[in-house]
Amino acid sequence: MAENEKKVPETAEVADKETKAVKKDAKTKKEKKSPRFIAWLRTTKAEMKKIAWTPKKTVIRNTTISLVGMIVLGAVIALLDYVFSTAFGALSMIF
């Protein structure tokens, strides 16, 4: 009996040690990731500087053209919807 009682605390101690070891490993992994992440950010920033960005004026012009085109197309579709619904409504009253 005394032997069994001694084993229970030992397994609990081993489990506590394993839990602490896992937590310690997790902390060291986080510490290791941090410098790599910072290096990645620096590399990304350097790559972003190499990109030939479109001038702001061109982006604004193209965006305006796209928005106007969508509004015009939406108006055309709305007009066609109104015309067809009115025409079909009139036809349904006739027949």
Tally of domains in the chain:
2
Which token pair is 85? 């619904």
State whether 31 and 43 are in the same domain.
Answer: yes
* Residue 75 structural domain: 53-95
Residue 59 identity (one-letter amino acid): V
State whether 40 and 59 are in the same domain.
Answer: no
State whether 33 and 74 are in the same domain.
Answer: no
36-to-2, 11, 43, 45 alpha-carbon distances in Å = 52, 38, 10, 14
CA distance 65 to 67: 6
pLDDT digit of tens for each residue in the chain (95 aa)?
555 555 555 555 655 666 666 566 655 555 566 889 999 999 999 999 999 999 999 999 999 999 999 999 999 999 999 999 999 999 888 88
State whether 1 and 47 are in the same domain.
Answer: yes
